[in-house]
């Protein structure tokens, strides 16, 4: 029987939906592999470490969860005296994509370093929190430096800083502590989406709001750095192909509403 117009339209819609199913199913399967490192309600599986304080001490309740957001808060601080903080996820990773949505909100705590204005970071390939010394300021790691604009000047984000480490970029060993990415400047308290693709020591790629802004490889310990020397003396290889992820507290309030990880095959 010849279909009427309504039947024909319905058939076309069904055919179109069937054609879309493989792509939709693949996207859903892919997204289901992401792990939420931050559960939106508390700091489960995260371990704080502050300079001068024992592992596990959340100094002045700096790291906290409020309204589903992981906050670096300085509400309980009168001033800053070098108590740099990091909060570590309690598992080591080597091949993965990391998705972080962050923003700066509020004023820097009094006596925070000038360079730390709207400055924070996500540390990759970090040493274990248990291996940090009491007075150590930063874990030996690769830092994806997060910077916010001052409302006037250009200031890239997703830069690379390298406490206790070096890396290779464009075939050259980079020993300079911090190098800027090619990202835009983000003024104010807007949310920014950072994605980092990490494939051991073969590749690390930074993407900001969908734009690739930095790539490098061959992450390694800096043999001239005291913290790295301490790790090397304990048998850690020079090449760094895996490690812990941590979020910084460098004196400026920062908020994280997503911290998700997608394991990659290797």
Mean pLDDT, residues 43-61: 98
Residue 178: which of 216, 210, 152 has the closest Cα?
216
pLDDT exceeds 60 at position 20: no
Residue 7 CA from chain centroid, whole number: 52
Domain boundaries, the chain: 1-32, 36-263
Token couple for 44: 């489960």
pLDDT exceeds 90 at position 223: yes
Mean pLDDT, residues 237-263: 98
Taking residue 14's Cβ as centre, other Cβ atoms within 10 Å add up to 10
pLDDT exceeds 60 at position 101: yes
Give 159 or 20, the one with higher predicted confidence: 159
Q: CA-to-CA distance for 163 and 9, rounded, in angstroms?
A: 62
What does the H/E/C string look like for 121-186? EEEEEECCHHHCCCCCCCCCCEEEEEECCCCCCCCECCEEECCCEEEEECCEEECCCEECCCCCEC
Which region holds residue 40: left if phi is over 0, alpha if psi is between -120 and 50, else beta?
left
pLDDT band with cut points at 50, 70 and 90 for residue 266? confident
For 129-162, write each residue's pLDDT tens digit: 999 999 999 999 999 999 999 999 999 999 999 9
φ/ψ of residue 156, rounded to 5: -70, 155
Mean pLDDT, residues 189-202: 97
What does the H/E/C string look like for 167-178? EEECCEEECCCE
The confidence score (pLDDT) of residue 32 equals 56
- 36-263 in CATH: which number? 2.60.120.560
Q: Which residue, chain included where needed, has tokens 């304990």?
A: 234
In sequence order, what E strands does 12-164 have? 35-36, 46-50, 63-66, 69-72, 85-93, 95-104, 119-126, 142-147, 159-161
**pTM of the full structure:** 0.87
The confidence score (pLDDT) of residue 24 equals 29
In angstroms, the Cα distances linking 38 to 43, 65, 99, 246, 258 are 7, 10, 11, 12, 7
Residue 12: which of 251, 242, 20 has the closest Cα?
20
Q: CA-to-CA distance for 131 and 64, rounded, in angstroms?
A: 24
pLDDT exceeds 80 at position 195: yes
φ/ψ of residue 123, rounded to 5: -95, 135
Residue 201 CA from chain centroid, whole number: 17
């Amino acid at each position: 029987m010849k279909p009427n117009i309504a039947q024909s339209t319905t058939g076309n819609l069904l055919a179109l939906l069937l054609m879309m199913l493989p792509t939709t199913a693949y996207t859903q399967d892919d997204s289901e592999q992401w792990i939420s490192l931050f559960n939106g309600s508390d700091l489960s599986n995260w371990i704080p470490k502050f300079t001068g304080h024992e592992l596990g001490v959340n100094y002045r309740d700096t790291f906290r969860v409020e309204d589903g957001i992981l906050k670096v808060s300085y509400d309980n601080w009168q001033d800053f005296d070098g108590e740099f903080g990091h909060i570590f996820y309690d598992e080591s990773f080597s091949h993965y994509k990391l998705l972080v949505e962050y923003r700066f909100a509020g004023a820097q705590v009094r006596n925070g370093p000038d360079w730390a204005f709207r400055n924070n970071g996500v540390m990759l390939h970090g040493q274990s929190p248990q291996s940090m010394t009491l007075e150590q300021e930063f874990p030996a790691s690769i830092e994806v430096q997060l910077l916010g604009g001052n409302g006037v000047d250009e200031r890239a984000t997703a830069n690379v800083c390298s406490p206790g480490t070096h890396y290779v970029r464009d075939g050259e060993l980079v020993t300079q502590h911090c190098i800027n990415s090619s990202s835009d400047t983000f003024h104010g308290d807007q949310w920014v989406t950072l994605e980092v693709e990490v494939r051991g020591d073969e590749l690390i790629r930074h993407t900001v709001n969908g734009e690739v802004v930095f790539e490098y490889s061959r992450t390694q310990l800096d043999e001239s750095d005291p913290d790295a020397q301490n790790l090397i003396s304990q048998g850690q290889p020079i090449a760094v192909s895996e490690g812990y992820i941590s979020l910084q507290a460098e004196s400026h309030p920062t908020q994280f509403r997503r911290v998700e990880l997608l394991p990659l095959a290797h």
